Amino acid sequence: MNAVRPLTRAILALGSNLGERKGTLQSAVAELVDRPEVRLQNVSPVVTTKPVGGPEGQPDFLNMVIAVDTTLAPEELLAHCQVVELAHHRTRDVRWGARTLDVDIITYGDVVSADPVLTLPHPRAAGRAFVLYPWSLMDPSATLAGQSVAELAAAAPDMPGIAHAQDGLLAHDSAAAAE
């Protein structure tokens, strides 16, 4: 008989800059937590951001962060995130290129891993306001590698390109989700 893993808090970053971005993010959040092993705990506001890296001329992104508690192992959570990306026609043709959906695991509990398949915490998150800023809005006391997420966001080079998306874009009652 397999033992059930304890719940671990994971922070997931979601982004979309192709297609119906708002609908994609709404659907992706629902699909990510549509398993008994993944429980939604909190949802950040959605922000509009300029693309970071990748080819020139890409459309702006909608970005957000969610907190989940999960019994999935880190690799299982990654596989689940990739299934959700594929359901939204995610392709990986161009590194940092335009995409219908991107889901990154930013942290998984206190796990630190240099595994090239799943490096934890996410190796570039500490310098990306498009992850840090919505995370800081969701959880003002959040830290990443011992540093304030809000302070990291303020210092990130892409912070000037961030704007709040339309109010109510992904309104969510996290209390109802936690039930």
Q: Could you list the active site residues?
A: 90, 99, 102, 104
The angle, 0 to 180 degrees and rounded to 10, between the axes of the packed helices 21-32 and 74-87 is 140
Neighbours of 131 (CB within 10 A): 33
**Cβ(156)–Cβ(127) below 8 Å:** yes
- Residue 108's Cβ-count burial label (10 Å; 0-12, 13-18, 19+) is buried
Q: How far apart are the first and last CA of the chain?
A: 27
Q: How many CA atoms lie within 13 A of 154 on its CB side?
A: 6
